Amino acid sequence: MGNFTHDGIVIDTPVTGSDPLITFSEPDSLALSIRASALVFVDPISKALLEYTQRIAPSEATVLIIGETGTGKELMARHVHSLSHRHDGPFVAVNCGAFSESLIESELFGHERGAFTGAVSTRPGWFEAANGGTLFLDEIGDLPLSAQVKLLRVLQEREVVRIGARNTIPIDVRLIAATNIDLAAAVRAGRFREDLFYRLNVAQLNLQPLRERPGDILPLVQHFMRRYGKRLALDSTSLSHCAERKLIGYPWPGNIRELENAIHHALLISKNGEIKATDLQKMDCQLPQEFTVNNATPGTSNGFLSLQHVLNNLYENPTEQLFEKIEETVVQTAYAYCEYNQVQTARMLGISRNILRHRLQLYGLLAA
């Protein structure tokens, strides 16, 4: 694993892109932030996103990252920066919703001394701070219209004018923006400028919620078990099958951040070195009314809806021998889930053991 470090943030990235499990994690000192602290790319949806990210990252194109809260938008922005030619330059992250309308322009573009009440000294803005690197504007949809006009000009002219100044300052910054709202709908409602939307939406990264990429859930669980197990000085902790099914079937409205908190709490109360379904109490408190533990299994409607979503994405970009590849994936994952027990795998799939053995030999999982 190679490391990219900036401003106290450590992002663990593989030296090559061949590892199917790729985790970007922040240090434990930041584990209580409201942001996602890890990403993995195991689910087919995530693998496709990673491949696209690796293609667009080396360019200078403006990137728009779309995703729900807790899906890891800032981590993805940092990964884009680390893969770009600007990786030795600064990465500056700004939450547009964290400043009042009267302050946001000063924060972004800077101000001169005496430009307004309280401006006791000249101060450069975030664009100048990110010069030679990447500026990440989170929650770009919260940017007031007055600031949107100035942001568009900066992107077009590649220069900023501090508040209260007349001279322009050239900048060399790549912009990455992120939002958890529908910007196209905001444009139609008159809350976001259409020309700025198109300027930002050159390359779009769509981070799907965790419920839409179930293949990432268990790898994330293992990652957080290692992280918090080490912090709690636990020798080793395993996960029961019932707990696995509960984790996979839960819709995760809080996405990766909620999953991390659930695993942390489960490790605190688990006994005998195993997390059981009953240890996942934080999930039970947050289950929507229409979702109960009784139907939170991969074999029910919730699991099949996730499966249908994955299949629909495959159908949109079909590959050769799609059916054979899907069938092989089903057999491989079922065999691994049953801990390579042929009898249990055949029973779970509803096929004979002879048919299963034939498939395993065909896929190279069993010696002929």
Closest to 160 (Cα-Cα) out of 133, 129, 137:
129
Long-range contacts, stretch 212-216, CB < 8 angstroms, 24+ apart = 212/45, 212/306, 212/309, 213/43, 213/45, 213/46, 213/310, 214/43, 214/248, 214/298, 214/303, 214/306, 215/42, 215/43, 215/44, 215/45, 215/46, 216/40, 216/41, 216/42, 216/43, 216/46
The sign of the CA dihedral 165, 170, 173, 176 is: positive
CB 159 within 8 A of CB 168: yes
Which range (62-71, 92-101, 312-321) has the least confidence?
312-321
CA proximity to 209, closest of 262, 175, 250: 250
Q: Which residues contact 56 (CB under 8 A, 6 or more apart)?
A: 63, 80, 203
Instruction: Give pLDDT, residue 348.
Output: 86
Other CB atoms within 10 A of residue 253 CB: 16
Q: Which of 15-24, 47-56, 101-110, 205-214 has the lowest mean pLDDT?
A: 15-24
CB atoms within 10 A of CB 255: 21
Write down the pLDDT at residue 306. Answer: 65
Query: Which of 278, 272, 285 shows the shortest CA–CA distance to 245?
Result: 278
Using pLDDT thresholds of 50, 70 and 90, give the confidence band for residue 166: confident
271-307 tens-digit pLDDT: 989 999 999 977 765 544 444 333 334 434 455 666 7
Contact 62, 78 (CB under 8 A): no
Predicted pLDDT of residue 283:
74
pLDDT of residue 285: 57
Most confident range (mean pLDDT) of 12-16, 132-136, 327-331 is: 132-136
117 token code pair: 């009440």
Rg (CA), the chain: 24
| pLDDT class of 321 with cuts at 50, 70, 90 | confident
Instruction: Tell me how far CA of residue 266 lies from CA of 112, 283, 292, in angstroms.
Output: 52, 10, 19
Predicted confidence at residue 367, as pLDDT, reads: 62
Mean pLDDT of 82-97: 93
Q: What share of the chain is helix, strand, coil (3-state, %, to 5)?
A: 50, 15, 40
Structure confidence at residue 135 (pLDDT): 96
Residue type, 155: L
Is the model's pLDDT at 195 over the cut of 70?
yes
CB-count burial class (<10 Å; 0-12, 13-18, 19+) for 167: exposed
Structure tokens at 332: 């491989």
> Torsion angle of alpha carbons 335, 38, 310, 177, nearest 10°?
-170
DSSP string, 131-162: TTSEEEEESGGGS-HHHHHHHHHHHHHSEE--
pLDDT score for 290: 40
How far, in Å, CA of 181 to CA of 175, rounded?
A: 18
Cα(109)–Cα(127) distance, integer angstroms: 6
For residue 295, what pLDDT is reported? Answer: 39
User: Kindly report the CA angle at 87 between 78 and 5, in degrees rounded to 5?
Assistant: 65
Give 220-272 pLDDT, tens digit per residue: 999 999 999 999 998 889 999 999 999 998 999 999 989 999 999 999 999 98
**pLDDT of 337 strictly over 80:** yes
- Alpha helices (H) in the chain, listed in sequence order: 44-56, 73-83, 101-109, 126-129, 145-157, 183-188, 194-200, 217-231, 241-249, 255-269, 281-286, 301-316, 322-337, 342-349, 353-362
Tokens of 258: 């909620």
Which residues lie closer than 8 Å to 156 by C-beta, 6 or more apart? 199
Contact 286, 250 (CB under 8 A): no
Mean pLDDT is lowest, of 66-70, 161-165, 207-211, 239-243, for 161-165
Q: Which helix (H) or strand (E) holds 87?
A: none
